[in-house]
Amino acid sequence: MRDGIPRFVPEDNYAKSFGYQWNAHRLTQLDSYVGLPVSRDRLLRESGWTADELQDREVLECGSGAGRFTEVLCQTGAAVTSFDISKAVDANATSNGRFANLRLLQASIYDLPLVDESFDYLVCLGVIQHTPDVERSFKTIFRYLRPGGKFCIDVYAAIVAYPHLRQLLRPVTKRIPPGKLYSVVQSVAPRLLPVSMRLGAVPRVGDYLTRLVPVANHRHLGLTDSQTLRTWTILDTFDWLSPQFERPQPRRRLERWCRDLRLSEFEIERIRGLYVVRGTK
Ligand SMILES: C[S@@+](CC[C@H](N)C(=O)[O-])C[C@H]1O[C@@H](n2cnc3c(N)ncnc32)[C@H](O)[C@@H]1O
């Protein structure tokens, strides 16, 4: 236990770049900070759930980062258990610690101090492609969901038609200490953003052209304020270039894992570069 958070992993682990990132950007993606329901819309759109149905339910959130979805879940009145392997939990605690319905842990998917089949809902967004064994991560989290419980997990889609220049850079950039890499991203990404914007505006092929510039471009999110857009660009460009693991998955493999788990109902939807897997256990 440190700073009121139970800790079940070594301080120094493979996800330390995430700890750095989410403490540097504790507020950036929180709806309450942005003033727009970006995270709320994404969570409800991907899961197909309503905020009302979550009230008083036991919800497990895996890999919560700075807590953009933790905030949304807590606001529904659910009893939320949220964990992350990295020091991101400290940022989450600072922002969302005020919610009496939140229990936060620093722990790994692979070794959770939780009771099997004790949750009604399972949420895991933006996480499992960043773990060393994606199949094991995917299958392990279902242990904690009760039969008949609902789940929503998203994962980077492995799509042949979706190459991006950043994929060539990451094998090198992930070896750079987080503080140094962050300084480079902070100075270079804002300069590349206008280039990416111009390419993105080219009719029909704009989306493909932006992939030639290794900078996160969130023009589709409706962030109208240029300072907000710039900050999201720095955060997500770092998020692309720094993780130790990034393993996108093909749809067929996800289908196979769902069948292995004998889920009573599931569907897989592609949303931009993600596969969203949702259903009932
Ligand atoms: C890209 S961030 C997404 C955070 C949050 N879900 C969001 O969408 O803002 C991925 C998170 O997964 C966490 N993570 C990676 N491996 C993990 C593991 N084995 N157990 C728990 N969390 C893990 C990282 O520390 C990081 O905060």
pLDDT at 245 over 80: yes
Mean of pLDDT over the chain: 95
How far is residue 22's CA from residue 178's CA, in Å, rounded to a whole number?
Answer: 12
The answer to whether 65 and 15 are in contact (CB under 8 A) is no
pLDDT, one tens digit per residue, over 158-171 is 976 567 788 889 99
Residue with tokens 């969570």: 43
Least confident of 17-26, 45-54, 212-221: 212-221
How far is residue 43's CA from residue 224's CA, in Å, rounded to a whole number?
Answer: 21
Beta strands in 36-144 (DSSP E): 58-62, 79-84, 102-106, 119-124
Instruction: Give the type of residue at 245.
Output: F
Q: Sort 144 into a burial class: Cβ within 10 Å, 0-12 / 13-18 / 19+.
A: buried
Best mutation site among 80, 85, 156 for ligand 1, i.e. most ligand atoms within 8 A of its Cβ? 85
pLDDT at 247 over 70: yes
Taking the centre of ligand 1 as the mean of its atom positions, its distance from the CA of residue 183, in whole angstroms, is 22
Residue with tokens 């480079």: 184
The answer to whether 141 and 263 are in contact (CB under 8 A) is no
Taking the centre of ligand 1 as the mean of its atom positions, its distance from the CA of residue 273, in whole angstroms, is 17
Return the residue whose CA atom lies nearest to atom 18 of ligand 1: 108
Please name the fold of domain 16-158+248-280: Rossmann fold (3.40.50)
**Where are the domains positioned within the chain?**
16-158+248-280, 166-241
The answer to whether 114 and 6 are in contact (CB under 8 A) is no
168 vs 250, more confident: 250
Among 109, 119, 164, 127, CA closest to 277: 127
pLDDT at 223: 73
**Could you tell me the CA-to-CA distances from 271 to 45, 49, 156, 194 in Å, in that order?**
10, 16, 10, 25
Q: Which helix (H) or strand (E) holds 279?
A: strand 274-280
pLDDT at 56 over 70: yes
- Identify the three-state secondary structure at position 203: coil
